Amino acid sequence: MNLPEDFVTKYTRLLGDEAPAFFASYDLPAHRAFRINPLKEQEKLSDTNAQGQLPYGKWGYLGGVAGHSVDHVTGLVYSQEPSAQFVGEVLAPQPGETVLDLAAAPGGKTTHLASFMQQKGLLWTNEIFMNRAKILSENVERWGVENAVVSSQSPDQLAKRLPEFFDKILLDAPCSGEGMFRKDPAAMQYWSEDYPAECASRQREILTETVKMLKPGGTLVYSTCTFAPEEDEQMVAWLLENYPEFEIDPIEKPADSGIQDGRSAWSNSTIDMSGTARLWPQDLPGEGHFVARLKKRQEEGGEAAQIKAFKPANLPAEQKVLLKEFLAATCPGLTCPADRLTLFGDHLFLVPAGTPDLTKFKILRAGLALGTFKKKRFEPDQALALALHPSQVSQSYALDENDWARYVHGDVIQTDSDLQKGWVLMTANGNGVGWAKYSAGQLKNFYPKGLRFLVQKDKA
């Protein structure tokens, strides 16, 4: 790979004897990996190519995932570069906590955090650019996450409305992307000798707002996919020098993982960086990452910030009846407390417990999308199909290989199954795929038109 000349000069100076192995790693193939979704039924993995488990976490594996496979479409697996998977393991949120993923698109780290939280607590996931936020929202939906709010706001807008609100925050910061060169050579076109310093300036602006949203006693994980000291150790040093209430919470590096300590000598300070982590492409499978975990000290006598509470929707009587009838007939195992329901137009959401007031935010997803009120009926959402377990519904239909191809193509399915007229959860390998409506031996297909595809048959 033809690396930028200034990049080679810089890392020859910084790495010394380690530099040849570092540069040689760019000529090796990029590593692929994926995570298994613990929120889903895992009775069978149909189309993954697992080549060994990662040394950190219990859900990550080396290997590839096919985009239109049963596993991928049902949200059982997520393709995520190996070293990026270490970030979620470092934050490791607990069920019931209030968590922010601030720069979250396309959703790899968000879905990882959701795996830890087990649908309990509030996972607020944000992306400032709307086109990327839409991709984030789609991945949250496919993963079957019920407790996520997806927004598209700038950090300062969030900080103004949500001061000291979160128990844990992840900032996977926009960076110079030096760890992307092997996976995406086009990233080199943006790189210049001054680019890391430009990114560091933006990172300081984002961190200035980020720290305002963390509760005293809370945890902030800062990460990048670059090797630049300006954006890594020097950024952590800047944060500690300007916000003395923060301290490094040392990261445990699994034995034989190849993960190294951060470089104190690169920090332009006297601060010990050994508690931070560096993942280098010459030392482990992965493209490279820097990760720091910081703790905000609990202050004595501080007053909790006042956050405006969520106000539930006041559904008209007709909509209450339609919803009650739908839940009783279709998914009696789903609990929908009235004080957690909100409407966006005619689209009904079940917001996570602990959600604040959502007015004046640009919200793409306010928890679990239940469905849409139509004329004299309630139509369930695709997100609901992906979140529900078959045990929660009155009727489900397990797709075989031929039915799968028909369903994801949008075709009507003929069946002699003993089904009752009404909504049916279509499943594959034990997980929801979408909805169909049964009547007179036919399953009318409600798989979204924008998701439909033609299954390619293997050639003999």
User: In 3D, which of 390, 392, 391, 379 has the Cα closest to residue 448?
Assistant: 379
In angstroms, the CA 176 to CA 166 distance is 27
In angstroms, the CA 460 to CA 454 distance is 18
Residues 6+ apart with CB under 8 A from 259: 56, 86, 253, 277, 278, 279, 283, 284
The values of phi and psi at residue 152, to 5°, are: -130, 85
52 annotated as a binding-site residue: no
Whether 225 is catalytic is yes
In angstroms, the CA 125 to CA 150 distance is 5
Omega before 106 within 30 of 0, i.e. cis: yes
103 annotated as a binding-site residue: yes
105 annotated as a binding-site residue: yes
Instruction: Find how far residue 413's CA is from the centre of its chain.
Output: 33
Q: What is the residue whose two structure tokens read 């720091």? A: 292
- Phi and psi based region of residue 83 (left: phi greater than 0; alpha: psi -120 to 50; beta: remaining): alpha
In angstroms, the CA 248 to CA 246 distance is 7
- Find the catalytic residue in 199, 225, 331, 336: 225
Longest dimension (CA), the chain: 76
Instruction: Find how far residue 329's CA is from the centre of its chain.
Output: 32
104 annotated as a binding-site residue: yes
Q: Is the dihedral of CA 158, 160, 165, 170 positive or negative?
A: positive
What CA dihedral angle connects 426, 429, 430 and 433, to 10 degrees? Answer: -30
In angstroms, the CA 421 to CA 331 distance is 14
The values of phi and psi at residue 359, to 5°, are: -65, 145
Q: Which residues of 238-260 are buried (b: 16+ CB within 10 A; e: fewer)?
A: bbbeeeeebebbebebeeeebbb
DSSP state of 164: T
24 annotated as a binding-site residue: no
Encoding tokens for residue 387?
């979140």
User: In 3D, which of 383, 25, 307, 380 has the Cα closest to residue 179?
Assistant: 25
Q: What is the residue whose two structure tokens read 């039924």? A: 41
17 annotated as a binding-site residue: no
Grouping H, G, I as helix, E, B as strand and the rest as coil, residue 63 is: coil
249 annotated as a binding-site residue: no
In angstroms, the CA 12 to CA 6 distance is 10
Residues comprising the binding site? 103-109, 127, 172
User: Which residues are tagged catalytic?
Assistant: 225
Residues comprising the binding site for S-adenosyl-L-methionine? 103-109, 127, 172
